[in-house]
């Protein structure tokens, strides 16, 4: 932001950013993870203002920047190769199982805890496709102290307005409002002990801060081949943007 009375006083935020290149990284760091490349776009905004209008201009500038960021994110989502069928559509975070294995764990655990099938299909490939195209948002999060999302189907990515790569930067806490956080805290012990819980409908937020309403949600513990807890899976049913 720039004071009209002092045209040379411009706050340069972009200069503080470090731009890394693959040449700076230790050898082998990028091997096997070329599909997980992240790009950073820096946009600088400058607003001239008179001192007595600073607060008004600041509010206007924040709203303007939010709208620009939202537009850029929508474009990036449209251009992202995260649609089913692309080579990197099911790229998961390092250390996580392949998508077909994770899908099998998700479905088996759902059947084990809730007594019904999550999907109706035959081959493992059709299970993966069915989960990816499922109309309800299915998202997996880690069991860390601060849970982060590690996988989502297409509806889950659409709901959070993100991509599979950017998904891994979103914490579970970030998408819930205060009431949702309280509900999650009260229900989490039941998820770990009983294996699942049903959550009443409410409001959550996309990665861009847009409110989302959902009819109800189901959360269950996903077990791996050794029957150890691998992650928590959430399914938001009949969700829509407010």
For residue 15, pLDDT over 70 is answered with no
Q: Which CATH class is domain 99-241?
A: alpha beta
pLDDT at residue 122, as a whole number: 62
Q: CB atoms < 10 A from the CB of 239, how many?
A: 21
Q: What percent of the chain has pLDDT over 70?
A: 70
Whether 168 and 150 have beta carbons less than 8 Å apart is answered as yes
Q: CB atoms < 10 A from the CB of 167, how many?
A: 23
pLDDT one-digit tens code per residue, 91-146: 444 344 578 899 999 999 999 999 999 997 665 557 888 999 999 999 999 998 88
For residue 5, pLDDT over 90 is answered with no
- Rounded to 5 degrees, φ, ψ at 207 are -65, -20
Q: Which residue reads 């474009």 in tokens?
A: 75
What residue spans of the chain are helical by DSSP H? 54-79, 99-114, 124-132, 154-160, 164-167, 178-194
Provide the pLDDT confidence category of residue 61 given band limits of 50, 70 and 90: confident
Provide the pLDDT confidence category of residue 223 given band limits of 50, 70 and 90: very high
β-pairing, 48-49 vs 2-3, is parallel
The CA-to-CA distance between both ends of the chain, in Å, stands at 32
pLDDT at residue 28, as a whole number: 45
List every span in the chain annotated with CATH 3.30.450.20.
Answer: 99-241
């Amino acid at each position: 932001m720039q004071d009209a009375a002092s045209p040379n006083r411009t706050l340069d935020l972009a200069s503080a950013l470090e731009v890394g290149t693959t040449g700076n990284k230790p050898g082998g760091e990028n091997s096997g993870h070329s599909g997980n490349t992240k790009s950073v776009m820096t946009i600088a905004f400058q607003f001239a203002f008179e001192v007595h209008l600073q607060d008004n201009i600041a509010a206007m500038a924040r709203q303007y920047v939010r709208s620009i960021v939202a537009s850029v994110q929508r474009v990036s989502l449209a251009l992202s190769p995260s649609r089913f069928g692309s080579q990197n559509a099911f790229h998961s975070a390092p250390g996580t199982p392949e998508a077909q294995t994770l899908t099998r764990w998700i479905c088996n655990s759902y059947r084990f805890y809730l007594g019904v099938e999550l999907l109706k299909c035959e081959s493992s490939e059709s299970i993966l496709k069915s989960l990816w195209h499922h109309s309800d948002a299915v998202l997996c999060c880690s069991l860390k102290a601060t849970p982060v999302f590690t996988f989502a189907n297409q509806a889950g990515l659409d709901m959070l307005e993100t991509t599979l790569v950017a998904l891994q930067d979103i914490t579970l806490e970030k998408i819930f409002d205060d009431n949702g956080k309280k509900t999650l805290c009260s229900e989490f012990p039941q998820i770990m002990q009983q294996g699942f819980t049903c959550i009443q409908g409410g409001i959550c937020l996309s990665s861009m801060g847009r409110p989302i309403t959902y009819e109800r949600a189901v959360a269950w513990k996903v077990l791996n081949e050794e029957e150890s807890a691998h992650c928590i899976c959430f399914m938001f049913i009949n969700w829509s943007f407010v």
